[in-house]
Amino acid sequence: MAHKESILKGLGRRDFLGKMGMGLGSVALWSLLNPVDVLAGTGISGNGGTIKIPHYVPKAKRVIYLFQSGGPAQQDLFDYKPLLRELNGQELPGSVRQGQRLTGMSAFQNSLPLAGSHFNFKQYGKNGMWVSDLLPHTAKIVDELCFIKSMYTEAINHDPAITFFQTGSQQPGRPSIGSWLSYGLGSDNENLPAFSVLLSRSHPFGQPLYSRLWGNGFLPSQHQGVQFRSGKDPVLYLSNPHGITGKSRRNALNTLEELHTINEDVLGSQELNSKISQYEMAYRMQTSVPEAMSISKEPDYILDMYGPEAKIPGTYAYNCVLARRLVERDVKFVQLYHQGWDQHGNLPSDIQKQCKSTDQPSAALVMDLKQRGLLEDTLVIWGGEFGRTSYSQGRLTKDNYGRDHHPRCFTMWMAGAGVKPGYIHGQTDDFGYNITENPVHVHDFQATLMYLLGIDHERLTYKFQGRRFRLTDVHGHIVKDILA
Amino acid sequence: MDIMNFIGRLHPLVVHLPIGFLFLALLVEWFIGKGKSNSSTRIVLFILILGALSSVVAIVCGWLLAMDGDYETSLLSWHRWLGTAIGILAIIAPIAKYFSKKQLYRVTLISIGLLLVGTGHYGGSLTHGSDYLIQPLKGTVSENNFDLFEIRNPDSIIVYTSFIQPMLERKCYDCHNSEKDMGGLNMDSYAKLLEGGDHGKVVTNDPWSSELILRVTLPKTNEKYMPPKGAPLNYNEISLLKWWIEQGSDSLKTITEMEPNKTVKHILASNYKIDTSPKTFVERVQAPSVNASILDSLTHLGWEINQIAEGNNFLEVSPKNKNLLSKKDLSVLAKIKDNITWLDLSGLALEDADIGIISKFKNLTKLQLGDNGITENGLVSLSSLKHLESLNLANNPIQSENLDWAKPLTSLKRVYLWQTKTNPDSVDRIRESFPEIQVIL
């Protein structure tokens, strides 16, 4: 009795209210374990998300977000600026900079010499999109891509900038895009996490990535991104320890579930339910993950599309193949992170390596999805957290330059579901420094992404600490011009 | 110098003197009542003479003004002759009073009172417009009214009647209507508006040579600026007007037919909540509603059924578990045949004979038939799918040398023929003969 009282005393106001809301006892557990099935019998099914019926007709059902971590230099890849070459070595005019704040890395430089790209550009596709020689494969498929050359952000350093892209806020603590989608739309495959994460880098050093970037923030923790690793175990501690069979694992889980059911009425907290659902998900993933993560059945001609690195685990190319395999299995949000775009110095040589390992796989992924018909309802996004400066960081020499962080403009591309193929949105000035046409803010990008998935970004909210939060905070306009 | 015109324009000033004097005479008579003294008679007489003199001056001014101004003729005629009648009675009144013709005097004075009301009203209507007085009672017309349209479909909103006409009514109608057509311009009908005014047409094909646009975009200090009084046309109104003229100033064309430009799209979206972005078939058309129990039964048979969006009865259908569902279960979908718009039947080992049922699903826009045993012979049965936009046939033993089976599929945009037995050489030919269809191999 004393024990029970202490438990009851321990039941806080929030827990109590939470329990009242979730007070379905074991049904709640079952619904979390098997979100796809519980809605059967209600006529219209829905997939366990809070949005039972999409707000808009969805154009995309799945997303692959190829995150280019570090901030690729738009002047060397997509945003062709011949003027920079003409004025190579001359000072960046103050009228262009307009008092823009610089990072501590170049703010104290005596001179800000303009640096023209060392790489040649050519026009490709029906729209005559300029693409640098660094990206021969991407250049070939520009008619499939929708370029936004006028992205801008508020942050000037990596972590706040990535956090801003992922969560809509520069301060850590809010849910990542994939978590919001998992929370809102649920899962189309109960055996794989709705939000899957794959990491790669072509260079031993890169800006660090923290797992909170794919974290669930204040959303229930089953919505956090699950990172698949490149080693023997794609998910750590997923396989049974030595001496434990699948059957005994199942028995253990069953017993745990029974215990949980008994305590549910007394303790039942959302976090405990999340925990149980994650145990169950892990159990199902013991069979589904090895199958999804094995590329042994991929024919050679497919792997050849993705390039020579496609068979090497841990590479960007390998992850692109995995991404396709995951969306084929109806995983809602697959996010790749490729580190190493932070080229403050030695840009000409480093960017070549970087492009070599990402250009072909990115293009191959789009075309592979396309031939299978998956591009019909899968959205592919390519982009970093900010752009890079048109002036050189450090000394500008005949064969070397670097570029500092530049939040005022950068280029992203999207392909597939719901966006115009072969389209260029936005323009920057001749210095590649400011946007002159159709600026797209990070929140606009997020609002558009949500719209493509059938979500009104103003309506997908979660109440936490007395306030309703949403991905786009109180901002965000849908970029209608890029919608197909 | 036009002295006559100048004197004429004194009419609105002078006209208030006889009104005041004559009413005062009436009031004084009423106040004094029956007990009359000699002095009171003299006072009333004095007022009446002032009234008579000032009415004559007002009438002369009025006649002069009428010669010059553009006034609506029937209103003017009423005002003119009633006013003149008052003048005559105003002369009779002091005479009758002086000679103590009590009966005549009383009738005259009361008639003057009544006529003053009528004449004054017509006069006011002439200068301010006939709606001026009761307009505030009718309630104001809001410019940006979200509830203006119950249906916000740009295909069914006529630009002239929904935007242009109400705007002209708000801002121009007071001076340019069939009763008062200043400058000979009457805007109360489409035909009259196109006819133009005294100086010719006000609407041409080019907004910047149309008097209608020029007059409302002049500097406000310019004497030709319109409207001369009241709220000017705002940016949104001018933009809509310009767009309407650019697009041929038709009276029946809808928003969609008028091809809104970027500015107009923005105005329509933010002020009228009209979304002009292109709509897909499923967003334009509404499917019949479905009984929940039918959906329940289908769900239990192993179909995954989802409503594609809020307020939209179209459904997306796929097998919940491909291994559990046999192709026999396909026929039950006929119960929701008009609602299915996205159908995924990939990997169900379907053969040509099985897909005949699909021809009933006339509202299909996306159909996935990948990983089946379908050949080109089976595809003929898809001919009734007039709204089909995307057809995935990857991984089927199709040996199509041509796309003749796709001819009846008038909406088809993309066909996926990856991993079929289609000869890559024939694809170039197919692409040539069906340029509007994207063939993905």
Contact at CB, B283 and A372, closer than 8 angstroms: no
Q: Is the pLDDT of residue B211 over 70?
A: yes
How much is the pLDDT for A32? 43
Helix boundaries (H) for B316-416: 376-379
Structure tokens at A151: 């992205």
Residues of A with CB under 8 A from a CB of B: 36, 40-47, 53-58, 370-373, 376, 454, 480, 483
Contact at CB, A40 and B299, closer than 8 angstroms: yes
Of residues B198 and A316, more confidently modeled: A316
**What integer best gives the mean pLDDT of chain B?**
88
Residue range B125-130: average pLDDT? 81
How much is the pLDDT for B151? 64
What are the beta bridge partners of residue A132?
A121
Q: Which residue has the tokens 């752009």?
A: A387
How much is the pLDDT for B62? 93
Question: Which chain A residues contact residue B418 at CB under 8 A?
Answer: 371-373
**Which whole-number Å values give the CA distances from B422 to A387, B352, B369, B382, B409, in the listed order?**
45, 17, 16, 19, 19
Chain A residue with the nearest C-alpha to that of B282? A57
Chain B residue with the nearest C-alpha to that of A483? B277
Structure tokens at B148: 């203006």
Q: Is the pLDDT of residue B23 over 90?
A: yes
DSSP conformation class of B204? -
Q: How many Cα neighbours within 13 Å face the side chain of B218? A: 16
Residue range B272-290: average pLDDT? 85
DSSP conformation class of B288? P
- Mapped onto helix, strand or coil, the DSSP state of residue A151 is strand
Question: Which chain A residues contact residue B335 at CB under 8 A?
Answer: none
Helices B16-32 and B38-68, packing angle to 10 deg: 160
Asked if A424 and A142 touch (Cβ cutoff 8 Å), the reply is no
Whole-prediction pTM: 0.76
Closest CA to A77 of A366, A420, A347: A347
Q: How many Cα neighbours within 13 Å face the side chain of A376? A: 21
Contact at CB, A58 and B307, closer than 8 angstroms: no
Contact at CB, A373 and B418, closer than 8 angstroms: yes
Contact at CB, B308 and A376, closer than 8 angstroms: no
Q: Which residue has the tokens 């009073």?
A: B97
Question: Which chain B residues contact residue A372 at CB under 8 A?
Answer: 370, 394, 416, 418
Asked if B331 and B360 touch (Cβ cutoff 8 Å), the reply is no
Asked if A483 and A418 touch (Cβ cutoff 8 Å), the reply is yes
Q: Is the pLDDT of residue B38 over 60?
A: yes
Structure tokens at A17: 């209210």
How much is the pLDDT for B433? 86
Fold of B284-440: 3.80.10
Q: How many Cα neighbours within 13 Å face the side chain of A186? A: 22
Phi, psi for A173 (deg, rounded to 5):
125, -15
pLDDT confidence band for B145 (50 / 70 / 90): low
How many domains are contained in chain A? 1
Alpha-carbon distance B127 to B69, whole Å? 10
Identify from B306, B340, B343 which residue to disrupt to test chain A contact, counting A C-beta atoms within 10 A and taking the largest count.
B306
**pLDDT tens digits, one per residue of A439-475:** 999 999 999 999 999 999 999 999 999 999 999 999 9
Chain A residue with the nearest C-alpha to that of B321? A189
List the single residue in B296, B320, B368 with the smallest CB-CB distance to A373.
B368
How much is the pLDDT for A8? 47
Closest CA to B152 of B271, B240, B253, B274: B274
Structure tokens at A67: 């995150």
- Mapped onto helix, strand or coil, the DSSP state of residue B279 is coil
What are the beta bridge partners of residue A151?
A410, A440
List the single residue in A41, A53, A371 with the smallest CB-CB distance to B307.
A53
Asked if B211 and B183 touch (Cβ cutoff 8 Å), the reply is no
Contact at CB, A373 and B299, closer than 8 angstroms: no
How much is the pLDDT for B150? 61
Handedness of CA A108, A114, A116, A118 (dihedral sign): negative
Residue range B30-48: average pLDDT? 83
Mind telling me how many Å the CA of B3 is from chain A's nearest CA?
59
Amino acid of residue B155? D
DSSP conformation class of A99? T
Asked if A406 and A341 touch (Cβ cutoff 8 Å), the reply is no
Question: Which chain A residues contact residue B414 at CB under 8 A?
Answer: 376
Closest CA to A274 of A210, A182, A189: A182
pLDDT confidence band for B175 (50 / 70 / 90): confident
How much is the pLDDT for A190? 86
Show me where the domains of chain B are located: 3-132, 146-272, 284-440
Q: Is the pLDDT of residue B427 over 90?
A: no
How much is the pLDDT for A40? 38
Alpha-carbon distance A436 to B101, whole Å? 88
Question: Which chain A residues contact residue B439 at CB under 8 A?
Answer: none
Measured distance between the N- and C-terminal CA atoms of chain B, rounded to whole angstroms: 85
CA angle (A296 as vertex; A200, B318 as ends), nearest 5: 90
Alpha-carbon distance B189 to B169, whole Å? 10
Q: Which residue has the tokens 């020689």?
A: A133
List the single residue in A47, A55, A373 with the smallest CB-CB distance to B416.
A373
Helices A316-328 and A347-371, packing angle to 10 deg: 20
CA angle (B393 as vertex; B390, B399 as ends), nearest 5: 130
How much is the pLDDT for B159? 92
Burial A204-222 (b: 16+ CB within 10 A, else e): eebbebeebbbbbbebbbb
Q: What is the pLDDT along chain A (484 residues), one digit of tens a residue?
A: 445 544 444 445 555 444 444 444 444 444 444 433 333 333 344 567 899 899 999 999 999 999 999 999 999 999 999 999 999 999 999 999 988 888 888 888 989 999 999 999 999 999 999 999 999 999 999 999 999 999 999 999 999 999 999 999 999 999 999 999 999 999 988 899 999 999 998 777 778 899 999 999 999 988 999 999 887 788 888 888 888 888 998 999 999 888 887 777 776 667 777 788 888 888 899 889 988 988 999 999 999 999 999 999 999 999 999 999 999 999 999 999 999 999 999 999 999 999 999 999 999 999 999 999 999 999 999 999 999 999 999 999 999 999 999 999 999 999 999 999 999 999 999 999 999 999 999 999 999 999 999 999 999 999 999 999 999 999 999 998 899 8
Question: Which chain B residues contact residue A190 at CB under 8 A?
Answer: none
pLDDT confidence band for B137 (50 / 70 / 90): confident
pLDDT confidence band for B154 (50 / 70 / 90): confident
Contact at CB, B392 and A373, closer than 8 angstroms: yes
Q: Which domain holds residue A469?
A: 2-482
